[in-house]
């Protein structure tokens, strides 16, 4: 028994004698005499670098180099806590087989720098700890080859040399870049290994079959080649095209992302995306040549991004998935000027901007399988026919502009039935060719409305829901024979000329300057199906005010319509006209309009066309001519005895609370003998005091605007306006109220139970700053404030006197306090 124990003891002693820990002693660690068994540089040196079990530790704070080629054997551990730089043409080899237990570790605080022309070959396990560093400098052109597991637990590491990182495929290893490895070239092959973490390849990525684990990301900045596909990548891993380059034509199992502001191309081959294909902000892909895209998963186009197919090859399975398009993204399709066809599945594709390039001959774009929604602009190129698939009827809703350089087919059935303009900003209809809409609905909620910059026609119905349509003498709307329009409203009408074809009664939904004012005509004789009448409303003084026929005292100084006969084959069409007034006060019609008649400018005079004004007793009314028009020119209302108009026409009287004052403003449409206005204010709505006199315009038939600023911070203020004629007659208008509940800024300073100094303002503050000063005026701490509370100074203060100052664009406040 004693012999066995002695044998075991001797064996253990002999085994321990073969492995040691060696510590660096600055200098070149490829030299054996720079390693010692004691950390203070004493003891013995190793006889080689290949003894299994030996540990070589570069001590913290030491600066070391590798100036000669060096090989560490299998089973050896290298731990770097200081700094190591490999230089010259030196090579570094750690281990010799893929299954080696050798370990190369950059520990917390340690750094390793690649500055050699020689290769670095690492077997076994390579690890960068949380605060370790791997870097490279200079143009080295060397290779760094990994034959085992690689793990980066530190922050992103950047090798600024031109080294090529080669990852072997001889074992089921995981190369984990963690937060990131930024390298020049990256080469890998095969499916035995897999990649995790974030990899940044500045120059070239070269792979065969490739596998990324879930959550892994690979960024490519210059070029990419692959001899086999990436279909084995996790569907949540991401390949980033982070530089302007050609896409690699392979099958991708990962997410493909073209990064922000990057432009890529695809000129040949086939791309298959088995996971998402993402276009980041302002990125683009241009497909040309013989290239073909196969969508095997959804595509997302973010703001400003573009997918441009310019070879006529519609992506395979394009309509299988419900893709996501930002309103400002663009899908553009063409064939480098040649003819083509395209089928749009309305139930799958909600486009941003949709563009179809010019073609050399007739080419068809079909809306199919559902109504089409376009969040941005629609552009139809020359020789393009935009229509529905034969035999089907769909609608198209557009939130942006329509540019038509081709043909847009619409109809009751078998074509596009309705276009809906539903934007929230200005929309424009333009292009080289006009459009005949079967039905057109205007539902634009912006103040700018619809600019009609090309002639359009309505075959069936123009529906005016919201938004003003602006036309001109060269770009107008024509309602065809058999077509009609809704009457319009204060929110939606046609500002500019609009035409009607046919021989039936019709009401023009006209208006001007945000004033809705309809006019209708009823044929009396001579009309046929080809007669064309145009109308336009003007919110301004009728022309030729002094050219008055007998029986007319004065014509309107507020408004008129210009009604024109555009086409009349027999030149004998006559009609009666009805003018509608939605605000009798604005139109200066008084006394229920008993003195109002219609008047038409003909033979160089304003002539009486008869009529009786119909007062609806809600400040609206209308009047119809009783003498038919046989020629066509301006028409309006006139007073037969001068009862209308009123001394002034007050269009608006309003006020707004500003920072430290109230702004009062009013406007008149016309003034007669107006001497001045008087403005009054009150705190209780009962007792008023005069605060201003403002001169009037005397006599005016144009819009006049007035304003006055009252320095006032009351929470509630009442204002009243009066108008006085030259003869002293005064008229008072309705009282208006201004509410201003904004409190004057103040703040409270208090010391909480933790002895912290906290500031509490009496209302929210935007973009302000508190500054804390000590008793000698030295700034101690600043707090930026933007609607946040509480505001706590973090500095530990000694007892004494302090000053807190606050400032923003409106206020400057100071307060002292004593810290106890």
- pLDDT range class, residue 1, cuts 50, 70, 90: very low
- pLDDT range class, residue 281, cuts 50, 70, 90: very high
pLDDT digits (tens, 9 = 90+) for 195-234: 999 999 999 999 999 999 999 999 999 999 999 999 999 9
Mean pLDDT score of the chain, rounded to an integer? 90
Is 50 exceeded by the pLDDT of residue 4? no
Q: Where in the chain is the domain with CATH 2.60.40.10?
A: 648-739
Cβ distance 376 to 349 under 8 Å? no
% of the chain with per-residue pLDDT over 90: 69
pLDDT digits (tens, 9 = 90+) for 147-187: 999 999 999 999 999 999 999 988 889 999 999 999 999 99
Return d(Cα 37, Cα 18) in angstroms, integer: 13
- Count of C-beta atoms within a 10 Å radius of residue 240: 23
In the Cβ-directed half-sphere of 89, how many Cα atoms lie within 13 Å? 0
Is 80 exceeded by the pLDDT of residue 748? no
Q: Tell me how far CA of residue 508 lies from CA of 143, 440, 495, 580, 817, in angstroms.
A: 79, 16, 11, 10, 72
C-alpha closest to that of 624 among 637, 611, 608, 640: 611
- Count of C-beta atoms within a 10 Å radius of residue 766: 10
Is 80 exceeded by the pLDDT of residue 643? no
Return d(Cα 745, Cα 759) in angstroms, integer: 13
% of the chain with per-residue pLDDT over 70: 94
Q: Tell me how far CA of residue 269 lies from CA of 266, 293, 374, 411, in angstroms.
A: 8, 9, 30, 41
Position of tokens 């139809």? Answer: 380
Average pLDDT over residues 780-790: 75
Q: Tell me how far CA of residue 583 lies from CA of 490, 517, 558, 638, in angstroms.
A: 11, 9, 12, 16
Q: Structure tokens of 227?
A: 């001899």
Average pLDDT over residues 83-99: 92
Q: What is the pLDDT of residue 750?
A: 75
Instruction: Give the max Cα distance, the chain.
Output: 148
Cβ distance 87 to 63 under 8 Å? no
Q: What is the pLDDT of residue 763?
A: 64
What fold does the segment set 747-819 form as a domain? Immunoglobulin-like (2.60.40)
Is 70 exceeded by the pLDDT of residue 2? no
Q: Structure tokens of 25?
A: 């002693």
Q: What is the pLDDT of residue 764?
A: 61
Is 90 exceeded by the pLDDT of residue 795? no
Return d(Cα 39, Cα 59) in angstroms, integer: 8
Considering the segment(s) 648-739 as one domain, its CATH architecture is Sandwich (2.60)
Is 60 exceeded by the pLDDT of residue 813? yes
Q: What is the pLDDT of residue 627?
A: 94
Average pLDDT over residues 391-405: 96
For 177-264, where are the alpha helices, taking DSSP H only? none
| Comparison of pLDDT for 543 and 702, the residue scoring more | 543
3-class SS string, 637-665: EEECCCCCCCCEEEEEEEEEECCCCEEEE
Is 80 exceeded by the pLDDT of residue 377? yes
| Comparison of pLDDT for 795 and 324, the residue scoring more | 324
Average pLDDT over residues 695-701: 83
Is 90 exceeded by the pLDDT of residue 7? no
Cβ distance 453 to 477 under 8 Å? no
Return d(Cα 278, Cα 235) in angstroms, integer: 13
Can you give the length of the chain in residues?
820
pLDDT digits (tens, 9 = 90+) for 39-60: 999 999 999 999 999 999 999 9
- pLDDT range class, residue 789, cuts 50, 70, 90: low
| Comparison of pLDDT for 774 and 436, the residue scoring more | 436
Q: What is the pLDDT of residue 557?
A: 84
* pTM of the complete model: 0.75
Q: What is the pLDDT of residue 22?
A: 97
pLDDT digits (tens, 9 = 90+) for 103-144: 999 999 999 999 988 999 999 999 999 999 999 887 778 999
Query: Is the C-alpha dihedral spanning 125, 127, 133, 135 positive or negative?
Result: positive
| Comparison of pLDDT for 728 and 6, the residue scoring more | 728
Q: What is the pLDDT of residue 682?
A: 92
Is 50 exceeded by the pLDDT of residue 613? yes
Q: Structure tokens of 361?
A: 């001959």
Average pLDDT over residues 280-295: 96
- Count of C-beta atoms within a 10 Å radius of residue 765: 21
Q: What is the pLDDT of residue 819?
A: 77
Q: What is the pLDDT of residue 17?
A: 46
Q: What is the pLDDT of residue 646?
A: 46
Lowest mean pLDDT among 183-187, 642-646, 652-656, 798-802: 642-646
Q: What is the pLDDT of residue 5?
A: 44
- pLDDT range class, residue 758, cuts 50, 70, 90: confident
Residues linked to residue 757 through DSSP beta bridges, in sequence order: 751, 793
Query: Is the C-alpha dihedral spanning 679, 682, 687, 689 positive or negative?
Result: negative
Helix, strand, coil share (%) of the chain residues, nearest 5: 5, 50, 50
Q: What angle do CA 423, 428, 430 make, to 5 degrees?
A: 145
Is 90 exceeded by the pLDDT of residue 704? no
Q: Structure tokens of 336?
A: 């480098």
Range among 190-204, 735-749, 782-796 with highest mean pLDDT value: 190-204
Is 80 exceeded by the pLDDT of residue 658? no
3-class SS string, 423-486: CCCCEEEECCCCEEEEEEEEECCCCCCEEECCCEEEEEEEEEEECCEECCCCCCEEECCCCEEC
Lowest mean pLDDT among 73-87, 371-385, 636-650, 711-725: 636-650
């Amino acid at each position: 028994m004693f012999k066995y124990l002695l044998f075991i003891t001797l064996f253990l002693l002999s085994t321990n004698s073969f492995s040691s820990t060696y510590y660096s002693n600055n200098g070149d660690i490829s030299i054996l005499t720079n390693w010692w068994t004691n950390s203070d540089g004493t003891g013995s040196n190793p006889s080689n670098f290949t003894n299994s079990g030996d540990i070589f530790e570069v001590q913290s704070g030491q600066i070391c180099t590798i100036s000669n080629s060096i090989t560490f054997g299998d089973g050896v551990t290298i731990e770097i806590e200081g700094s190591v730089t490999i230089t010259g043409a030196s090579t570094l080899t750690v281990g010799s087989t893929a299954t080696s237990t050798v370990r190369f570790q950059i520990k917390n605080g340690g750094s390793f720098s690649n500055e050699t022309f020689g290769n670095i070959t690492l077997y076994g396990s390579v690890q960068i700890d949380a605060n370790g560093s791997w870097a490279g400098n200079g143009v080295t052109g060397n290779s760094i080859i990994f034959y085992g597991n690689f793990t980066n637990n530190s922050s992103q590491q950047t090798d600024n040399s031109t080294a090529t990182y080669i990852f072997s495929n001889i074992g089921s290893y995981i190369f984990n870049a963690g937060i990131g490895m930024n390298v020049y070239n990256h080469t890998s092959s095969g499916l035995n290994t897999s990649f995790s973490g974030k990899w940044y390849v500045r120059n070239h990525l070269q792979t065969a079959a490739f596998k990324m684990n879930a959550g892994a990301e690979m960024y490519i900045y210059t070029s990419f080649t692959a001899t086999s596909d990436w279909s084995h990548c996790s569907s949540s891993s991401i390949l980033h095209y982070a530089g302007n380059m050609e896409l690699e034509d392979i099958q991708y199992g990962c997410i493909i992302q073209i990064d922000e502001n990057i432009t890529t191309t695809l000129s040949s081959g086939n791309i298959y995306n088995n996971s998402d294909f993402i276009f980041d902000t302002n990125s683009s892909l241009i497909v040309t040549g013989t290239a073909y895209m196969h969508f095997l998963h959804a595509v997302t186009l973010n703001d400003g991004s573009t997918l441009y197919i310019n070879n006529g090859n519609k992506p395979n399975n394009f309509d299988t998935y419900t893709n996501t398009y930002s309103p400002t993204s663009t899908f553009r399709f063409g064939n480098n000027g040649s003819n083509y066809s395209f089928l749009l599945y309305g139930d799958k594709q909600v486009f941003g901007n949709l563009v179809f390039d010019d073609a050399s001959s007739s080419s068809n774009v079909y809306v199919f399988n559902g109504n089409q929604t376009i969040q941005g602009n629609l552009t139809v190129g020359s020789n393009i026919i935009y229509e529905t698939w034969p035999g089907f009827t769909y609608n198209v809703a557009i939130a942006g502009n329509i540019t038509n350089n081709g043909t847009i087919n619409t109809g009751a059935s078998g074509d596009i039935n309705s276009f809906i303009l539903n934007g929230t900003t200005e929309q424009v209809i333009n292009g080289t060719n006009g459009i005949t809409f079967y039905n057109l609905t205007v539902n634009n909620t912006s103040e700018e409305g619809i600019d009609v910059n090309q002639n359009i026609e309505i075959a069936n119905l123009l529906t005016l829901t919201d938004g003003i349509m602006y036309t001109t003498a060269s770009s107008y709307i024509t309602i065809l024979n058999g077509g009609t329009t809704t009457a319009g409203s204060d929110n939606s009408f046609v500002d500019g000329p609009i035409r009607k074809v046919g021989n039936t009664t019709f009401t023009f939904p006209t208006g001007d300057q945000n004033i809705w004012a309809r006019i209708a005509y009823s044929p009396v004789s001579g009309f046929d199906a080809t007669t064309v009448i145009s109308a336009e409303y003007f919110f301004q003084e009728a022309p030729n005010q002094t050219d008055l026929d007998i029986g007319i005292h004065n014509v309107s100084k507020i408004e008129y319509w210009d009604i024109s006969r555009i086409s009349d084959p027999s030149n004998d069409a006559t009609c009666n006209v009805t003018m509608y007034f939605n605000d009798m006060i604005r139109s200066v019609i008084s006394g229920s309009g008993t003195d109002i008649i219609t008047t038409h400018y003909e033979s160089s005079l304003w002539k009486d066309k008869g009529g009786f004004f119909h007062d609806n007793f809600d400040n609206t009314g209308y009047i119809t001519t009783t003498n038919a028009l046989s020629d066509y020119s301006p028409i309006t209302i006139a007073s037969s005895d001068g009862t209308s108009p009123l001394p002034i026409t007050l269009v608006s009287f309003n006020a707004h609370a500003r920072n430290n004052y109230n702004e009062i403003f009013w406007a008149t449409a016309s003034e007669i003998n107006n001497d001045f206005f008087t403005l009054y204010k009150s705190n209780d709505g009962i007792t008023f005091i005069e605060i201003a006199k403002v001169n009037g315009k005397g006599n005016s038939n144009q819009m006049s605007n007035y304003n006055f600023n009252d320095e006032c911070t009351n929470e509630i203020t009442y204002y009243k306006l009066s108008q006085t004629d030259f003869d002293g007659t005064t008229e008072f208008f309705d009282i208006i109220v201004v509410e201003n509940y904004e409190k004057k800024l103040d703040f409270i300073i208090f010391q909480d139970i933790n002895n912290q100094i906290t500031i509490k303002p009496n209302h929210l503050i935007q973009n302000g700053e508190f500054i804390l000063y000590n008793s000698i005026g030295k700034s101690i701490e600043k707090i930026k404030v933007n609607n946040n509370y509480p505001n706590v100074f973090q500095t530990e203060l000694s007892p004494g006197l302090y000053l807190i100052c606050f400032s923003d664009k409106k206020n400057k406040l100071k307060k002292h306090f004593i810290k106890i």
